[in-house]
Amino acid sequence: MDIYENLQLHILKYIPDESNILYNFILTNKLYKHALEDRLNTVYWEKVEDIVEKQIADIMKQGSAFSGSLDLRNNQIDAKGCEILAPALEKMTALEGLELDVNLIDTDGCKYLAPFLAKMTGLRTLYLGENQIDAKACEQLAPSLAEMTALETLSLCCNKIDAKGCEHLAPALVKMTALEWLDLGYNQIDADGCKHLAPALAKMTALELLFLGNNLIGAKGCEYLAPVLPGMTELKSLWLDGNQIDANGKEIIQEAWRNAGKNQNHGLYL
């Protein structure tokens, strides 16, 4: 029997704080590796999904009492897991942070999450890096992101976001006026992607850190990004390394950075 597909029947009695159960269990018939290794000591088993569904029901009863940040990073949460998780999120009206990095969330997963994310208007941090988010997934997420006007940090790094994905995201980014930290690094964003993003970035006057490293931006992408830098008055760090930017492209960005009054020796990474 696969140790990571099942769970001992009485494992819950070893978890003292049931309000944090979602930190310890994976929602797709898998169990967080360390939680299992630390607590496994009997031969009684029950499907993880059955237990998790019971615990989510308890969390849903707590409603706004479940606050702070919910950390579900580095699990194997897929579309099924998102389907189970989404109704619980609706009840967590006091939640300020949601961390779903390093999972298996794709278009179908975003389809389940999106309607509930739209209601989480008080959320300040949202991490969706290292999943399987592509253009279609961005299309699912974008309307919800547009409603999250209090969001200060958004990470979509290490996904499959291309120019079409940027086209879907751009209208939502325009409305995220409180955003200070945006990570779109390690995707597939090329010059056309920058063309879609640039008008949105021009309106994101609160943005302090912008990560676009390790994409496909090139010199042409720099031509789209450079004109918006003077208007980004709060921007302190811009990461464009690993983007196949030649000497001409670097010169374009460096000149725009200087003209925007930025520190020439700090904050720009090419």
Does position 110 have pLDDT exceeding 80, yes or no? yes
Rounded-to-integer distance, Cα 15 and Cα 21, Å? 8
Sheet holding 181-183, edge to edge: 68-71, 95-99, 125-127, 153-155, 181-183, 209-211, 237-239, 268-269
Domain boundaries, the chain: 65-269
User: For the chain, what is the mean pLDDT?
Assistant: 80
What pLDDT is recorded for position 158? 97
Residue 214 near residue 243, CB atoms below 8 Å: yes
> pLDDT tens-digit profile of 210-259?
999 999 999 999 999 999 999 999 999 999 999 999 999 999 999 999 99
* Fold classification of 65-269 (topology level): 3.80.10
Lowest mean pLDDT among 13-17, 84-88, 147-151, 181-185: 13-17
